[in-house]
Amino acid sequence: MPLSNMFKKPPNKDTSKNISSDENLLSSKQQKIRSEAAKEFLNVFQEKMPLVGGQPHAGTVISIAARLAGTSLFWSINKNDITPDVIVLSEEVNKAYPQLLNQFARYCKRSGIDVRSKPVVTDFPELDKPLMDIAQIRAEYQDPYNKIMKKHGLDFLEGAWAGMIVCSIVFEFHCISKKDIDPYIATGIVAMGVVEGAKTSPTSRSSDKIKTEMDSISQSVQEKFSRFVIGNLEDIIPDVNKNGGQYTQLHPLVEQKLKDGNIDPKVIYIQGLETQLEEKVSRVDFINMDIDEILRQEQNDQMPIHVLLVYWLNEKAEEYSYKKSGNSWILKS
């Protein structure tokens, strides 16, 4: 089935194979149980989320939820042992997963985003691509997921439906609250993750090997995205969303309270930058600022905080083993 048809209802009228025909699945009681199971898994998941620069990596988090749901669907259909690491072509899966995705779309629409209003995205930006493959996800998260589903009395099919609730919650967090991934890219990751989980038999690779691979990925990811960004907030956010990184931003109310207490908010920003330098962040990037022009000017306390940080870092860079390169300071190798 083409990806463009993922959110369409399957044409088959054979209700014995149509999961939505099961009234038990659609009952409010089962929906409540699935919701409780999904939230319990999220409580466990948030302690083990894959981080980039200290923040959850949106594409990976979303793909984990989708692949776990897809894997539950796989096991609900394939009752017998199947050779590991193979793609299982199944007409039952072709009929079932569009209904799961439609369920996900309904949850998203309640949150204010109609994910079916645009074609499914399948070409993801490098920044958003999931950083774990399905074998790594299953090794790390599948057992806890299955145990929680079983605890709530849910079988594998119910677990797949509960997975759509997990997907919708992490979607809302990253696409609406945090806004660190485009909702239609996130939808594509969900769609492809469900299909991959539903059609890929469990891996034969050992847990030790998978753990080694995961540790290696974690290290390379941290190196790739070890970046601290400084500038106007309206410049920082789109840059970080596109290129990754961390930044410091005080809430206006917090900043006002500091001023009311005769505490200069600049101190907090300096501490944030200094912490990054002590932890050996790979680079500090100043966004939409001409650093050379700023340094030619005489410093004064009326300058914006992000400009004052230029002078502070220029003075302290050598002490922390950083060298200036254009509008950035790079950690010396």
**54 DSSP β-pair partners:** none
Q: How many CB atoms lie within 10 A of CB 262?
A: 6
**CB contact set of 174 (below 8 Å; sequence gap of 6+):** 56, 58, 61, 62, 180, 181, 186
The whole model's pTM is what?
A: 0.57
pLDDT at 299 over 60: yes
Tell me the three state secondary structure of residue 88.
coil
* 52-110 pLDDT tens trace: 766 789 999 999 999 999 999 888 877 655 545 544 555 666 777 788 899 999 999 99
Helices vs. strands in the chain: H and E counts, helices first: 14, 6
Helix 143-151 vs helix 58-77: crossing angle, to nearest 10: 60
Confidence at residue 96, expressed as pLDDT on a 0 to 100 scale: 74
Domain ranges across the chain = 3-222, 226-331
Of residues 251 and 176, more confidently modeled: 176
Least confident of 27-36, 88-97, 166-175: 88-97
